[in-house]
């Protein structure tokens, strides 16, 4: 962080720079007054069950309360407040959100980073995860738009904008999540589910993207450990970079047609490079998540929209001080 995040600079950002119109284009104007907000204010006090009758009031709140972190939650049947906390009012709708954080990969990061620390090498895991999910949402689930935000520190959030998802109940959200999940108990046993026969588009995408990313980084030695012959391992490593649009057909040709080897290889590339999603964020329809374009109180960085995830690196996200220049 360049300098101390003072109350003045926070207020100044929310007065002068916070793009309320852009923010509103994501959450929508209808039902705005019934939308829950949450904030970390002053010295680390987390307040929830707050709602605003209009955007000016929201802005005023953020300007006046030295907001360190700002979060937006679900829509309810009446405005959430201290008298009507969200547990006691009826849930109406919530965006469908993915959260990918680099520290979810701690057990498989080989670059030496862990926790909040990242480098170009391990950040590629987050980029690949976002692209994979983005494609799956559009091609398999038929959603039209997914918007990716920088979370302000060590990850990204994907918001599925299609209205139909807003009414999904927990079972429907979990179903999508389970469809995407291949690594179970990610932070401990990391058990890997087999790639199913029937879900062809998903399987093809795993070969085209996840296997490719893994093989791009593989060495003949690492492949030999999976039971692949020396000759074949050398061939794979030599040829993988020559493909222009690697797809599942290429994978099927390149990899030996041996069930045991294939199974070992697929568990390995799933373990090493498959998306790891924070399930709670996607499942829990009452959770609040970082407000797009707000300031992250620890880094001073802005939760900006990521236009091109393949070329986005957190260091390039502007800080609140950058916006003042």
Map the footprint of Zn ion across residues 34-93, applying CB under 5 A: none
Residue 140 near other proteins by CB under 8 A: yes
219-224 own/partner pairs: CB under 8 Å, 24+ apart:
223/265
Neighbours of 270 (CB within 10 A): 21
Residue 119 interaction partner, one of Zn ion, other proteins, none, beta carbon < 5-8 Å per kind: Zn ion
Map the footprint of other proteins across residues 153-172, applying CB under 8 A: 164, 168, 171-172
Residue 200: how many CA atoms within 13 Å on its side-chain side? 1
Looking at the Cβ atoms of 65 and 99, the one nearer to other proteins is: 99
Q: How far is the CB of 280 from other proteins (least distance, A)?
A: 8
CA distance 294 to 64: 15
Could you tell me which residues come within 8 angstroms of residue 149 by beta carbon, excluding any fewer than 6 positions away? 156, 157, 158, 159, 290, 292, 303, 304, 305, 306
Residue 111 interaction partner, one of Zn ion, other proteins, none, beta carbon < 5-8 Å per kind: Zn ion
Map the footprint of Zn ion across residues 99-118, applying CB under 5 A: 111, 113
**Adjacent-strand bridge partners of 183:** 192
For residues 272 to 301, the per-residue mask of contacts with other proteins, x marking binding by CB under 8 A and - elsewhere, is: -------x---x------------------
Among 143, 148, 150, 246, binds other proteins (CB under 8 A): 143
3-state secondary structure of 39: strand
Q: Enumerate binding residues for other proteins (CB under 8 A).
A: 139-143, 164, 168, 171-172, 174-176, 178-179, 181, 184-185, 188-189, 191, 193, 196-202, 279, 283
């Amino acid at each position: 962080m360049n300098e101390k995040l003072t109350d003045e600079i926070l207020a100044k950002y929310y007065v002068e720079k916070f793009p309320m119109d852009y923010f509103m284009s994501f959450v929508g104007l209808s039902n705005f007054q019934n939308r829950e907000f949450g904030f970390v204010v002053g010295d680390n006090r987390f307040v929830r069950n707050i709602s605003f009758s209009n955007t000016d009031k929201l802005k005023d709140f953020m300007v006046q309360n030295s907001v360190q972190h700002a979060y937006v939650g679900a829509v309810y049947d009446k405005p959430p407040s201290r008298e009507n906390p969200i547990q006691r009012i009826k849930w109406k709708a919530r965006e469908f959100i993915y959260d990918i954080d680099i520290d979810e990969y701690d057990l498989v990061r080989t670059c030496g980073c862990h926790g909040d620390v990242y480098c170009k090498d391990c950040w590629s895991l987050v980029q690949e995860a976002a692209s994979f999910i983005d494609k799956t949402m559009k091609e398999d689930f038929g959603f039209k738009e997914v918007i990716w935000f920088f979370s302000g520190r060590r990850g990204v959030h994907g918001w599925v904008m299609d209205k139909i998802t807003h009414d999904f109940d927990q079972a429907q959200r979990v179903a999508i999540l389970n469809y995407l999940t291949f690594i179970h108990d990610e932070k401990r046993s990391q058990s890997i589910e087999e790639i199913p026969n029937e879900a062809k588009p998903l399987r093809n995408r795993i070969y085209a993207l996840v296997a490719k990313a893994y093989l791009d980084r593989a060495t003949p030695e690492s492949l030999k450990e999976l039971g692949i012959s020396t000759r074949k391992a050398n061939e794979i490593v030599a040829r993988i970079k020559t493909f222009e649009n690697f797809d599942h057909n290429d994978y099927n040709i390149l990899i030996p047609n041996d069930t045991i080897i294939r199974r070992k290889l697929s568990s390995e590339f799933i373990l090493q490079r498959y998306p790891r999603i924070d399930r709670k964020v996607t499942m829990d329809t009452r959770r609040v998540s970082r407000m797009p374009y707000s300031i992250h109180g620890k880094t001073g960085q802005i939760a900006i929209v990521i236009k091109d995830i393949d070329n986005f690196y957190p260091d390039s996200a502007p800080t609140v001080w950058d916006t003042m220049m």
